[in-house]
Structure 1
Amino acid sequence: MKKKILSFFILGFMNVLCVSAQETFKVMFYNLLNYPLEDAVPNREDDLAFILADYQPDLFLVCELNNITGANNILNITRTAIDPNFEMATYVSNTSDDSFGDQNDLQNLLYYNSSKFSIQEEIIVPTDLRDFNVYKIRLNTTDQDVNPIDVYVIVCHLKASSGTLNAQRRFEMVLELDSFLETIPSDSNVLLGGDLNLYTASESAFQELLDSSDAITFADPADRIGSWNNNPNFVDVFTQSTRTQSGLGGTTGGFDDRFDFILTSENMLSTANVTYVPNSYKVYGNNALISCYNSAINSSNCGTISSEFSFEIRDALHNFSDHLPVTLSLEADVTLSTNNNLQLTQNITLENTLVNSELNIYIYSSKFLNHPLHVYNQLGQLVAVFQTNSDQKQTFNINNLNNGLYVIKVSESNTKPLKFIVSH
Structure 2
Amino acid sequence: MRKFIVYIERIKFSGLILMISLKSSLSFSQDSIRIMYYNILNFPGNTSFRVYNLRTILLHTKPDVLVVTELQSDEGANLILQEAIHNSNLGPTYQKADFTNGPDSDNMIFYNNEKLVFRKQDTIETELRLINHYKLFVNDPDLFNTNDTLFLDFFIAHLRSGSSSTQERYNECLKMMNYIDADTSLKNIFVGGDFNFYTYLEPAYELLTNGGIVKLMDPISKPGDWSDNSLFAPYHTQSPRNRAFNGGSVGGLDDRFDFIFVNDNVINGTKRIKYLSDTYQAFGNDGQHFNDSITAPPSNPLIPDSVIQALHTMSDHLPVIMDVWVDLQRPDSNLVNVKCKELIISEYIEGSSFNKAIELYNLSNSDTIDLSNYKIGIYANGSQVPTQQIQLSGIIPATGFYILANNNSTLSNIIAYADTLTSKLNYNGNDAVALLKNDTVIDVIGEIGNDPGVGWTVGSGSTKDFTLIRHPRVKKPVQDWQTSLPDWIVKSLDDDSDIHNHLNSCNGCFLKANVSTFPCRCGSATNGTIQLDSIEGAYPPYTFLWSNGDTTKDIYNLLPGRYYFTMTDVIGCEIMDYSDVISIPEPIASAINITSAGCPSDCNGSAEIFVLNESNYQTPFSYLWSDPFAQSDSMAIGLCTGTYFFTFTDYFNCMDTGTVTIPGEVNPTADFSFSINQNNVSFLNASTNASDYVWDFGDGASSTEINPLHLYGSAGNYTVLLTASNGCGTVKMSKNISIFFTGMTEEVRPEIYFSIHNGSMQMNLPKELINHGALLSVYDLAGKKIYETQLNTTPVDVFSDKYNLAQGTYLVEINTKNKVSVVKKIVVLDRNKL
TM-score (norm 1): 0.68
Equivalent residue runs for 1:210-359 within 5 Å: 210-211=209-210, 214-270=212-268, 271-289=270-288, 292-301=289-298, 303-304=299-300, 307-334=301-328
Q: CA offset at residue 225 of structure 1?
A: 1.0
Find the counterpart in structure 2 of residue 69 from structure 1.
75
> Size of the alignment, in residue pairs?
297
Q: CA offset at residue 139 of structure 1?
A: 0.5
Match of 2:182, SS? coil
Equivalent residue runs for 1:23-172 within 5 Å: 23-39=31-47, 43-76=49-82, 77-81=84-88, 82-94=90-102, 97=103, 104=104, 106-145=105-144, 146-163=147-164, 166-172=165-171
Q: CA offset at residue 247 of structure 1?
A: 3.2
Find the counterpart in structure 2 of residue 422 from structure 1.
none
Residues 157-202 of structure 1: per-residue CA shift (max 9 Å, x gap): 0111112xx1100000000001111221276110012000100111
Q: Distance in 2 between matches of 1:203 and 1:46?
A: 37
Answer whether contact 1:154 1:192 (CA < 8 A) is retained: yes
Residues 226-270 of structure 1: per-residue CA shift (max 9 Å, x gap): 110000110111000011112331001111100111111122101
Residues 331-377 of structure 1: per-residue CA shift (max 9 Å, x gap): 11127xxxxxxxxxxxxxxxxxxxxxxxxxxxxxxxxxxxxxxxxxx
Match of 1:219, SS? coil
Q: Aligned letter for 1:244? A: N
Q: Distance in 2 between matches of 1:21 and 1:231?
A: 43
Relative to its length, the structure with more strand (as a share) is: 2
Q: CA offset at residue 80 of structure 1?
A: 2.7
Q: Distance in 2 between matches of 1:31 and 1:38?
A: 17
Runs of 4+ in 1 over 2 A off after TM superposition: none
Answer whether contact 2:253 2:293 (CA < 8 A) is retained: yes
Equivalent residue runs for 1:334-413 within 5 Å: 334=328
Q: Distance in 1 between matches of 2:239 and 2:303?
A: 17
Answer whether contact 1:31 1:63 (CA < 8 A) is retained: yes
Q: Aligned letter for 1:78? A: I
Q: CA offset at residue 129 of structure 1?
A: 1.0
Q: Aligned letter for 1:75? A: L
Answer whether contact 1:33 1:250 (CA < 8 A) is retained: yes
Answer whether contact 1:186 1:216 (CA < 8 A) is retained: no
Relative to its length, the structure with more helix (as a share) is: 1
Answer whether contact 1:287 1:309 (CA < 8 A) is retained: no
Q: CA offset at residue 296 of structure 1?
A: 0.8
Match of 2:143, SS? coil
Higher radius of gyration, 1 or 2: 2
Q: Distance in 2 between matches of 1:38 and 1:224?
A: 37
Find the counterpart in structure 1 of residue 689 from structure 2.
none
Answer whether contact 1:286 1:309 (CA < 8 A) is retained: no
Q: CA offset at residue 38 of structure 1?
A: 4.5
Q: CA offset at residue 311 of structure 1?
A: 2.1
Q: CA offset at residue 128 of structure 1?
A: 1.0
Find the counterpart in structure 1 of residue 29 from structure 2.
21
Q: CA offset at residue 52 of structure 1?
A: 0.4
Find the counterpart in structure 2 of residue 173 from structure 1.
172
Q: Distance in 2 between matches of 1:221 and 1:201?
A: 14
Q: Distance in 2 between matches of 1:24 and 1:52?
A: 17
Q: Distance in 2 between matches of 1:300 and 1:132?
A: 38
Find the counterpart in structure 2 of residue 406 from structure 1.
none
Match of 2:87, SS? helix
Q: Distance in 2 between matches of 1:194 and 1:49?
A: 20
Q: Distance in 2 between matches of 1:44 and 1:247?
A: 12
Residues 270-323 of structure 1: per-residue CA shift (max 9 Å, x gap): 12311101111011111122xx1111111114x25xx21232211110011111
TM-score (norm 2): 0.35
Residues 369-394 of structure 1: per-residue CA shift (max 9 Å, x gap): xxxxxxxxxxxxxxxxxxxxxxxxxx
Find the counterpart in structure 2 of residue 379 from structure 1.
none
Answer whether contact 1:187 1:267 (CA < 8 A) is retained: no
Q: CA offset at residue 59 of structure 1?
A: 0.2
Q: Distance in 2 between matches of 1:222 and 1:134?
A: 23
Q: Distance in 1 between matches of 2:114 and 2:185?
A: 28
Q: CA RMSD in A?
A: 1.5
Q: Aligned letter for 1:144? A: L
Q: CA offset at residue 44 of structure 1?
A: 1.6
Long gaps (5+) in structure 2 = 1-27, 330-834
Long gaps (5+) in structure 1 = 1-19, 98-103, 336-424
Find the counterpart in structure 2 of residue 344 from structure 1.
none
Equivalent residue runs for 1:181-220 within 5 Å: 181-185=180-184, 188-211=187-210, 214-220=212-218
Answer whether contact 1:217 1:266 (CA < 8 A) is retained: yes
